[in-house]
Amino acid sequence: MCSAVIFGKIETMEVVVNGEIKEVADGTSVQELLAQFQIKPVRVAVERNREIVTRKQFADTRLAAGDKIEIVTFVGGG
């Protein structure tokens, strides 16, 4: 997928988060992605291209352009 130079030096890439296309900085980790959306890591589970990323791997897992990310949480249900 495409990487582009905007705002001078920051390289960005497109990833799909919960079905929406989002632009993030190149090399963004899962942990940084969650921070960008103000999501507490302790309350969610994350899939990267259908593979679960465990909480311990959040900091070290870097996203690549075109990655499909799912961030899920618990909601009310029966």
Partner 1 sequence: MNQPELKIGSYTLNSRLIVGTGKYASLELMRDCHAASGANCVTVAVRRERLVDKNSGRNILDMIDPKKYILLPNTAGCFTAEEAVRVARLGREMLTDSGFRGAEWVKLECLGDTKTLLPEPVGTLEALKILVADGFQVLVYCSDDVMLCKRLQEAGAAAIMPAGSPIGSGQGILNPNAIRIILEQLKEKSPDYPVIVDAGVGTASDVSMAMELGVDGVLLNTAIAGAKEPLKMAQAMGLATESGRLAFEAGRIPRKLYATASSPWEGRINV
Give residues in contact with partner 1 (CB under 8 A).
17-20, 22, 37-40, 42-45, 47, 50, 52, 54-55, 70-78
Tell the smallest beta-carbon distance from residue 50 to partner 1 (Å): 7
DSSP secondary structure of 26-62: TT-BHHHHHHHTT--GGG-EEEETTEEEPGGGTTT-B
Nearer to partner 1, 3 or 54 (CB): 54
Tell the smallest beta-carbon distance from residue 9 to partner 1 (Å): 26
Instruction: Report the residue count for the chain.
Output: 78
